[in-house]
C-alpha cells in the first residue's frame, strides 16, 4: 500500500504559501491505519522502547495506538494547563508560532526508554521540546517516529543524535 497516495495536499492552509499535508484519509482507511500503527510499533520494539510519548493533538491519533500494538505504556504531552498534577514544562518554536508543552512530572522514571511518536516532522521544534522534557525527568529517548517527514523544512538537522523512523517523505 502506498500511504503517500492517501495524503491530500491543501494549498495555503493554515496560511498563505503553506501546503498542509492532510493525513486524515489514512485514519479513514482501516488498512492504511493498521499499516502505519504496525510499522511504528515494530520500530518501538526494535528500539527497545518501554514507553510511547506523543504530543497533542495529532500525535494522539497515533501514539496510543502504537502503544497498544506494542504493549507499551503511553504518556501524553499536552499544551499548558491541560494536565491536573505537577508538571514539567518546555517552551518551543514551530512553523507558525511559539508555544509550551507539559508532561506530568511523575509519568516517566529514570530507567524508561522513550519512543516519541508524532504525525509530522516539520521544523523539529515540537519533538525537540519533548526530548527536553524527557531529559528533565532523566528518562532516555531511544528513537523518534513520524508518519510524515517534510524534508524541505529540514527538521532532522537538530535531531541528528536520535534514531529516526519516517514512513512518508516530502
The total of structural domains in the chain comes to 1
Question: Model's pTM, two decimal places?
Answer: 0.95
Alpha-carbon distance of 155 to 41, in angstroms, equals 22
* CA distances (Å), origin 59, targets 65, 99, 164: 10, 16, 16
Eight-class DSSP state of 4: G
Q: CATH number for the domain including 163?
A: 3.40.50.2020
Q: What's the average model confidence in pLDDT over 14-30?
A: 95
Sign of the Cα torsion 144, 112, 75, 28 reads: positive
The helix/strand/coil state of 38 is helix
pLDDT digits (tens, 9 = 90+) for 60-103: 999 999 999 999 999 999 999 999 999 999 998 766 678 899 99
pLDDT digits (tens, 9 = 90+) for 102-159: 999 999 999 999 999 999 999 999 999 999 999 999 999 999 999 999 999 999 998 9
Nearby residues of 160 by Cβ (< 8 Å), 6 or more positions away: none
> Residue 106 has what pLDDT?
97
Is the pLDDT reported for residue 21 higher than 80?
Answer: yes
Cell matching residue 89: 514544562
CB 87 within 8 A of CB 164: no
For the chain, the helix, strand and coil percentages under 3-state DSSP, each to the nearest 5: 35, 35, 30
Domain holding 89, by residue range, is 3-169
Q: What's the average model confidence in pLDDT over 161-168?
A: 97
Amino acid at each position: 500500500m502506498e500511504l503517500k497516495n492517501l495524503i491530500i495536499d491543501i494549498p495555503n492552509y493554515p496560511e498563505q504559501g503553506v501546503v498542509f499535508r492532510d493525513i486524515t484519509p489514512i485514519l479513514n482507511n482501516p488498512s492504511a491505519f493498521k499499516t502505519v500503527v504496525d510499522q511504528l510499533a515494530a520500530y518501538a520494539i526494535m528500539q527497545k522502547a518501554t514507553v510511547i510519548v506523543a504530543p497533542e493533538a495529532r500525535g494522539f491519533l497515533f501514539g496510543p495506538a502504537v502503544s497498544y500494538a506494542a504493549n507499551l505504556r503511553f504518556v501524553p504531552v499536552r499544551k499548558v494547563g491541560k494536565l491536573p498534577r505537577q508538571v514539567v514544562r518546555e517552551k518551543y518554536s514551530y512553523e507558525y508560532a511559539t508555544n509550551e508543552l507539559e508532561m506530568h512530572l511523575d509519568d516517566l522514571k529514570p530507567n524508561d526508554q522513550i519512543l516519541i511518536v508524532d504525525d509530522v516532522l516539520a521544523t523539529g521544534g515540537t519533538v525537540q521540546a519533548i526530548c527536553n522534557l524527557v531529559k528533565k525527568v532523566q528518562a532516555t529517548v531511544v528513537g523518534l517516529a513520524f508518519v510524515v517527514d517534510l524534508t524541505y523544512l529540514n527538521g532532522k538537522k537538530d535531531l541528528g543524535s536520535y534514531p529516526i523512523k519516517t514512513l512518508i517523505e516530502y
